[in-house]
Chains A and B, each alone.
Chain A
């Protein structure tokens, strides 16, 4: 009787579909993921049960434990036009074209307008140093030094124009600018109230207060 032949099976699998799938997912997550913006200060936000997500196209005011104020607006074009308006308002501060281009790509900053050119030129190490020493964006209402109000106003106007242009000419979805406040849980509430008052003066009454999801902090 002939011996029963045991089929020699190779233990290697065809992994091609698996690779396909894996790379498909990688691509998906890469494209959908928004990279975390480098923050000038570490802010430990309080936790809440709210699960509302922060919408795109936001103006963000960050307040750290000491009450220093940092400011950010999304969108390159909006940032550029906003800076132009600030330059008109404070003509004594000069910017080069290169500095304007770099500003477009920056994120949160917390220096008075006079120091902004130097801050833009600074490299990462120097910026960190400036961030630890800065007093934040001035919000004193005396002698027209309330620069944050100007930033808010110009950023908002430019964001409005940009959004209108997108909707009218490019058929984009209407995405009005949202106003977010990110504040450290240990900061005094009166600092936050001062910022909210500034917003209220410009008829902005709806805010997104950034919080951690409950449980995530513990």
Chain B
């Protein structure tokens, strides 16, 4: 493969007289191309895999002063309880937790009929429909990408007064994966108003009554359920 093509017919050997060889300056470049493309493939693949993707999170500052706390209408609050159970189940309730409140359950696995995905798609329908229309407008070329982004972040869409506010509360053996999964489900359903906080003792007790699980840790009372949206 890697021989140099000198281009002389090979008949030079018969003559005794030394003659300057007429050499063809062409070199077979095939192996070099092979090598170049091998390297190319390698770098393309590794550089693509290298880019770490991240989920941006903004946590609220803990403040003792409650005068400036965000007001949240009870009927718009949806609390999601993540306790890290083996079934991949999340419990949720709307409004304020009372004695009579029933804890609903949904699976993180979207292929199951009672999945959280389905619940979010239904409960956040207002915003999702608006976003769908907005994206369609963008696809049809009616608005630019900047307008799309600006509008998507605007109050009329995400901060709309009728948009639900989701409070993710973790406790028990909740793993990092569980929490990220539920936040990811929220993102898929175009939810931008959500907060992440520790579960409160009252909720843990209610959860324990529902599931019959004993949660080992005695958690401190969580700060009131409000925080900056993402």
Interface residues, chain A, with chain B CB atoms under 8 Å away: 12, 15-16, 18-19, 22-23, 25-26, 29-30, 32-36, 46-54, 63, 180, 182-193, 196, 200, 203, 205-214
Contact B52 A54 (CB under 8 A): yes
CA distance A29 to B32 in the complex (A): 18
CA distance A206 to B51 in the complex (A): 20
Contact A192 B176 (CB under 8 A): yes
- In order of increasing CB-CB distance, the 6 nearest A-B pairs are A185-B177, A29-B43, A22-B36, A208-B54, A33-B47, A15-B29
Contact B29 A36 (CB under 8 A): no
CA distance A22 to B40 in the complex (A): 7
Contacts of B29 in A (CB 8 A): 15-16, 18-19
CA distance A37 to B119 in the complex (A): 40
CA distance A196 to B60 in the complex (A): 11
Contact B54 A189 (CB under 8 A): no
Contact A54 B59 (CB under 8 A): no
Q: Which single residue of chain B is at the shortest CB-CB distance from A52?
A: B54
Q: Tell me whether chain A's interface is mostly helix, strand or loop, or mixed.
A: mixed
Judged by a CB distance under 8 angstroms, whether B170 is at the interface is yes
CA distance A213 to B50 in the complex (A): 12
CA distance A191 to B82 in the complex (A): 15
Contact B56 A206 (CB under 8 A): yes
Contact A185 B176 (CB under 8 A): yes
Contact A205 B61 (CB under 8 A): yes
Contact A49 B188 (CB under 8 A): yes
Q: Which of A30, A63, A185 contacts B180 (CB 8 A)?
A: A185
9 further interface pairs, Cβ-Cβ under 8 Å (given A49-B188, A52-B54, A210-B53): A18-B33, A48-B55, A188-B84, A188-B175, A190-B170, A192-B179, A205-B60, A208-B54, A211-B55
CA distance A31 to B107 in the complex (A): 45
Contact with A along B3-36 (1 / 0, CB 8 A): 0000000000000000000000010111011001
Judged by a CB distance under 8 angstroms, whether B143 is at the interface is no
CA distance A62 to B184 in the complex (A): 20
Contact B33 A26 (CB under 8 A): no
Distance to closest chain A CB from B4 (angstroms): 13
CA distance A52 to B58 in the complex (A): 14
Contact A29 B177 (CB under 8 A): no
CA distance A32 to B55 in the complex (A): 23
CA distance A131 to B36 in the complex (A): 37
Contact B43 A189 (CB under 8 A): no
Contacts of B44 in A (CB 8 A): 29
Contacts of A206 in B (CB 8 A): 56-59
Distance to closest chain B CB from A106 (angstroms): 19
Distance to closest chain A CB from B170 (angstroms): 5
Judged by a CB distance under 8 angstroms, whether B155 is at the interface is no
